[in-house]
Amino acid sequence: MLDLVVEGRIVVAVKTFDLWNDVDEFLTSTPTPTQILAFRPSRRARERLRHLLDAQQSGPLTVDEDAELHEALAVEAFMRRLKVKALSKVGA
């Protein structure tokens, strides 16, 4: 999601929803495999994803919404792969 912020006479688009940021913050905390398995995105991120999925069911998404949804799905795929690796370490 982009918010427009006016700085002087320039309008700047600021990304206010960034699921990758949640993942970055989590991974830089050096989580254990068990913590990786327990990871969930923030409530705000889950709500935004739910909004995008609901909007997609109601009709076509905007170009920005579609890109945002695809980015969220890429994050989910990444975290699933990470959790598979973490599971192998916990179960080893």
pLDDT tens column, 23-79: 999 999 999 999 999 999 889 889 999 999 999 999 998 888 898 899 999 999 999
Residue type, 64: D
Confidence of residue 13 (pLDDT cuts 50, 70, 90): very low
31-41 residue pLDDT tens: 999 999 999 98
Q: What is the largest CA-CA distance in the chain?
A: 59
Segments in the chain forming alpha helices (H)? 19-27, 33-38, 43-58, 63-90
